[in-house]
Structure 1
Amino acid sequence: MSELEELEQQERELVFGRFTNADAWRLGCLLVELAGELPVAIDIRRGTQQLFHAGLEGSTADNDAWIARKVRVVERYGASSFLVGRRLAAKGQQLDAGMGVDPADYAAHGGAFPIRVRDVGVVGVVTVSGLPQADDHALVIKALRAIPRD
């Protein structure tokens, strides 16, 4: 399976039956636990409401800025920031003014993943920032696979 196929499979697989504030709390706490001593910031939001945020030791306000940029990618394209970035890279493209976005506001780098509810669609975003992009993405996927989604 190619990298793009694997990322697309994750989008199909990691779907919730519902997503409540309590689900956001459990997912956020699990991400904090899985991150351990990694210098990351973690953010979970449903719509425009931030439901969970943690800045672990070693993370900075810059991570929060990256979170905002990655979240905008998921909200605009309805797919993980990593998948959007890898699709563009496969075409030799970048997320920039040529695509109608300002790179200062959007980052197609791994770490933001759509919170998708079955029969509803994307309702939110879970994001990790602070590691190399593939590692940010992998940490989110590990948590989503470990948490009940029904």
Structure 2
Amino acid sequence: MMTPQDDIALVKKQELDLVLTRFDEDVAFTLGGALRTRALAAGMSVVIDIRTWDRQMFFAATAGTSADNAEWVRRKINTVRRFQRASYRMVLERGEGPFSPQSGASSADFVIAGGGFPIRVAGAGIIGCVTVSGLPGRLDHGLVVDGLCEHLGVDAAAYALSAQ
């Protein structure tokens, strides 16, 4: 059985290993479409957002989502951008809930919840994020990781968090 420390180490490995060689509109569309297809096949109600820090490049919502999901996505994006790590890693390191007042990260604009994952491009670093909202945070995170693994042609089993 994996411990929280094991999960943190695995998420760090995901962040370092799941690196794109390039990122542009075509990559965003291909990755986003694959995530949407995966969600539809599993009957998941999710919102998917893929972006660089300055603009949205893909957005999709499946049946059963609401404006609340898009709001969660916005707050997860802000968290990934500010802390430069997966929002689920923030859950594992800090616990779910609001940031402390000392952090200066208002709950109106930031959230500690899984589903935001940094887009890292070789030679460029973190340039944006892939974000999913609609499932429990661990599953939102897993959907993104599975989609990135598929896109990169790597074995998703090597990066999968255990079921909890």
TM-score (norm 2): 0.85
Q: Distance in 1 between matches of 2:104 and 2:49?
A: 26
Deviation at 1:148, TM superposition (A): 2.9
Which structure 2 residues correspond to residues 66-81 of structure 1 after superposition, within 5 A? Answer: 66-81=72-87
Q: Which residue of 1 aligns with 2:47?
A: 41
Q: Which residue of 2 aligns with 1:30?
A: 34
Q: Which runs of 4+ in 1 moved over 6 A?
A: none
Kindly tell me the number of residue pairs found equivalent between the two proteins. 147
Q: 1:146 aligns with which of 136, 142, 150?
A: 150
2:83 aligned with 1:96: no
Q: Quick one: percent identity of the two aligned structures?
A: 37
Is there any run of 5+ residues in structure 2 with no aligned partner, and where? 154-164
Q: Distance in 2 between matches of 1:123 and 1:107?
A: 20
Q: Give the secondary structure class of the aligned counterpart of 1:104.
A: coil
Greater relative contact order (CA < 8 Å, ≥ 6 in sequence): 1
Q: Which residue of 1 aligns with 2:133?
A: 129
1:67-103 CA-partner distances (Å, limit 9, x unpaired): 00000001001101111221113xx995232211101
Q: Which one-letter code corresponds to 2:99 in the other structure? A: L
Q: Which residue of 2 aligns with 1:117?
A: 121
Q: Which one-letter code corresponds to 2:75 in the other structure? A: R
Is there any run of 5+ residues in structure 1 with no aligned partner, and where? none
Q: Distance in 2 between matches of 1:130 and 1:96?
A: 24
Please say if residues 110 and 137 of structure 1, whose CA atoms lie closer than 8 Å, have aligned partners that are also in contact.
yes
Q: Give the secondary structure class of the aligned counterpart of 2:48.
A: strand
CA gap of 1:93–1:67, structure 2 versus 1, over 3 A, is: closer
2:22 aligned with 1:15: no
Q: 1:52 aligns with which of 58, 64, 78?
A: 58
Q: Which residue of 2 aligns with 1:107?
A: 111
Q: Which residue of 1 aligns with 2:161?
A: none
Q: Give the secondary structure class of the aligned counterpart of 2:152.
A: coil
Q: Which residue of 2 aligns with 1:5?
A: 9
Structure 1 vs Structure 2 CA RMSD: 1.6
Please say if residues 79 and 114 of structure 1, whose CA atoms lie closer than 8 Å, have aligned partners that are also in contact.
yes
Q: Which one-letter code corresponds to 2:128 in the other structure? A: G
Q: Which residue of 2 aligns with 1:83?
A: 89
TM-score (norm 1): 0.93
